[in-house]
A and B are shown apart, each in its own frame.
Chain A
Amino acid sequence: MDTSNPAAFVNAEFLKEHVGRRVRAVVQVMQSDGDTVIGKSTDEKQLVVKGYPPNPLSTFVEVIGIADTTQSIQAETWTNFGDTLDVTSYDKVCRLANGDHKHLFI
């Protein structure tokens, strides 16, 4: 039982609040080369994910890692989320998880 290292749900907007901390985000892969992935966050903004993505990489991928700047994440874990995903729902959950219901998460 260990809650010392949570990963906050973020989109581009909330990433800014968690710089330097562990976060999780779902991005739609726009461009992928070697050790960087340029993706579109669930709130339609650009995010850069550093690290080595799995091969093959699906359209949507969840990354868990440390937010190193307000627009990029240093990924530790990548999970392929498939080629279809309801991005709006995920984004809404992000908002709720960072808003009134933060205490349930971090």
Chain B
Amino acid sequence: MYGGNSQFDGNAAFAGGGFMPSQATQTAGDHSFSPAKNRDSQTLLPLSVKQISEAFQSSDDKTNFLIDGVDVNNVKVVGILFNKAERVTEVSFVVDDGTGRIDCSRWVNEAVDAKEMEAVTNGMYVRVHGHLKGLLGKRQLVAYSVRPVDDYNEIASHFAEVIFVHSYNSKLRRQQDSSSMSGQVPSSAANTPLKGYQASPSTQFPGYNMDGIRGVDKMVLDYLQQPSCLAREKGVHRNELAQQLKVPSEKILEAIESLESEGLVYSTIDEYHYKSTANG
């Protein structure tokens, strides 16, 4: 609803016409209108405790963690629960998933929360969903869901997901690094942590960006931008392009059409001769 760059629209709609920071956004569980957190960036990451222990803590005042270049908010961990300790409004416990142990805490404010926690006991395999928090240098999971595992295929499934998401995010990160060339950087995603694992990754670039130009187009453009070609008043015949680049004429024609529509080349003496619009 308020996604993308319209970070303060939520505030404007609910208080003071946008002039005053809204008191409404300061309430504890109200993440959806928080200006700093866009819904898109709150993905769920299945993780191993080892990954959590190695997560990079960015020095923001937001205490954000980064794993594989992705903002860590919601986390899923599957392991054995133990050291369950019940206090008045909170239940604390530890989850051991075979890669490490992490302290967890579950706030119990309503009957449904208490009932959920009663169903889990020490020694049981559980699936925990929660937020990763750093408290006094220690990493802790503030759980909002703790459920027993019924089908033990979930163990293999969870770790397969952990491996997959890690591979996916690492690959995305490598692509992001290698494709940050000149030209307009299309979205704010390039300067902030990646959105990470989502069902349909968004890596679209606007038309003007050099990355958007296909291979052949780029080859043609590069050829035409050579000093020797730029110097030629009559430009380059398209047969020469086909011959020199060893690309079929039809492809050259397509490339020229697309470059011409972008305003990057123009025809000179006739429709067969082209020059790059760059000055060189």
Q: Report yes or no: A77 in contact with B80, Cβ–Cβ below 8 A.
A: yes
Is B259 on the interface with A (CB-CB < 8 A)? no
Q: Report yes or no: A101 in contact with B99, Cβ–Cβ below 8 A.
A: no
Q: Report yes or no: B166 in contact with A2, Cβ–Cβ below 8 A.
A: no
Binds A, one of B157-165, B197-205, B232-240: B157-165
Q: A24-B98, A89-B156, A89-B160 are in contact. Are A106 and B50 (CB under 8 A)?
A: yes
Q: Report yes or no: B98 in contact with A93, Cβ–Cβ below 8 A.
A: no
B76-124 contacts to A, CB under 8 A, are 80, 98-103, 123
- Measured between beta carbons, the chain A residues less than 8 angstroms from B159 are 9, 93, 97, 105
Q: Report yes or no: B152 in contact with A62, Cβ–Cβ below 8 A.
A: yes
Q: A1-B138, A3-B50, A3-B53 are in contact. Are A105 and B156 (CB under 8 A)?
A: no
The size class of the interface chain A forms with chain B is 20 to 34
- Measured between beta carbons, the chain A residues less than 8 angstroms from B162 are 104
The 8 Å CB contact of B153, one of A77, A86, A103, A105, is A86
Count, A-B residue pairs, CB within 8 A: 82
CB distance from A6 to the nearest CB of B (A): 5
Q: A93-B159, A105-B50 are in contact. Are A6 and B152 (CB under 8 A)?
A: no
Q: How far is the CA of A55 from the CA of B166 in the complex (A)?
A: 38
A3-41 contacts to B, CB under 8 A, are 3-9, 24
Is A45 on the interface with B (CB-CB < 8 A)? no
Q: Report yes or no: B166 in contact with A104, Cβ–Cβ below 8 A.
A: yes
Q: Report yes or no: A2 in contact with B152, Cβ–Cβ below 8 A.
A: no
Residues of B within 8 A of A (CB): 48-53, 80, 98-103, 123, 125, 138-140, 151-153, 155-157, 159-160, 162-163, 166-167
Residues of A within 8 A of B (CB): 1-9, 24, 60, 62, 64, 77, 79, 81-82, 85-86, 89-90, 92-93, 96-97, 101, 103-106
* 4 smallest beta-carbon distances between A and B, as pairs: A3-B100, A81-B152, A90-B156, A89-B156
